[in-house]
Amino acid sequence: MLFKLQIIFPCLRIIQVLMLIAIVVILVILWFLGYMPLSGISIPNASLFTINGHAVTLWEILILIVTVWAIGILPRPLQMIASVLLLLWILSVLGILAITGLPNIIVLVIIVGLILSIFV
């Protein structure tokens, strides 16, 4: 029984690392396409609805979904930090925390944190 557990746990860690790498790649692609539009690629920025006078776009919803997915995979202490960053990101997107560029900075911090969590 112990031998089976020793084989299963490293396999689970490999799967978790592969999932985190996939999430980082997806989040970076969404960040580039949503916040830093490339001149050669024309992707419409669809506004889904407005809250507090700020338009919530499709890219922001997709980034939210991927970030929540990443929080579910992270270890417990990093889940708490990422949850606070997610809350700050939501407040800044909705315009409650009105600091210019804060959503971009928070998404970058989440991406860097995910990359660092792969090596921990």
pLDDT tens per residue across span 101-117: 888 888 888 888 888 88
Residue 67 tokens read as: 């970030």
Structural domains in the chain (count): 1
pLDDT at residue number 2: 45
What pTM value is reported for the model? 0.77
**CA–CA separation, 36 and 4 (whole Å):** 47
Nearest to 63 by CA among 97, 98, 95, 36: 36
pLDDT above 60: residue 6: no
CA distance 11 to 48: 40
The stretch 16-37 carries a mean pLDDT of 83
Q: What residue numbers bound the domain in which 112 lies?
A: 2-118
Q: Are 29 and 37 a contacting pair, CB within 8 Å?
A: no
pLDDT, tens digit (0-9, with 9 covering 90-100), for 47-104: 888 888 888 888 888 888 988 988 888 888 888 988 998 999 888 888 888 888 888 8
E strand or H helix at 73:
helix 58-73
